[in-house]
Amino acid sequence: GAGVSQSPRYKVAKRGQDVALRCDPISGHVSLFWYQQALGQGPEFLTYFQNEAQLDKSGLPSDRFFAERPEGSVSTLKIQRTQQEDSAVYLCASSSQGNTEAFFGQGTRLTVV
């Protein structure tokens, strides 16, 4: 596709439910990032992949958060046993090899009730 695609756009989960958020990066982009954006704040880094390798997961807030990119393309961010504090917009971004700008998807707005 022409841009980074994320699905679903909106997700409402009951507290304790597991959720999976999908990201389709721009074709050929080696690097993929997940960010969490709380209401009224700037995005915060969660994790980074280069191809299928997860090189940095230092931003994942707890072991309930898990990300994968098994074939080096589509990525899934999974949150187990969701809590209210997980409510946020989850942004995915991709970039080509080298230090170039990242292109962001529209995000998934997760609301935990």
Partner 1 sequence: AQSVAQPEDQVNVAEGNPLTVKCTYSVSGNPYLFWYVQYPNRGLQFLLKYITGDNLVKGSYGFEAEFNKSQTSFHLKKPSALVSDSALYFCAVHKAAGNKLTFGGGTRVLVKP
Q: Which residue stretch of 19-27, 63-71, 73-81, 92-100 sits at the interface with partner 1 (rule: CB under 8 A)?
A: 92-100
- Specify the DSSP class assigned to residue 25: P
Largest Cα–Cα separation, the chain: 40
Contact assessment for residue 59 and residue 43, using Cβ atoms and an 8 Å cutoff: no
CA gap 35, 88 in Å, rounded: 10
Minimum CB separation of residue 39 from partner 1 in Å reads 11
Q: Which residue stretch of 19-27, 32-40, 62-70, 71-79 sits at the interface with partner 1 (rule: CB under 8 A)?
A: 32-40
- Asked if 43 touches partner 1 (CB under 8 A), the answer is yes
Minimum CB separation of residue 42 from partner 1 in Å reads 4
- Asked if 68 touches partner 1 (CB under 8 A), the answer is no
- Please give the backbone phi and psi of residue 40, each rounded to the nearest 5 degrees, phi first: 80, 10
CA gap 22, 68 in Å, rounded: 10
Which residues would be at the binding site for partner 1 (CB under 8 A)? 4, 31, 33, 35, 40-45, 48, 56, 59, 91, 93, 95, 99, 101-107
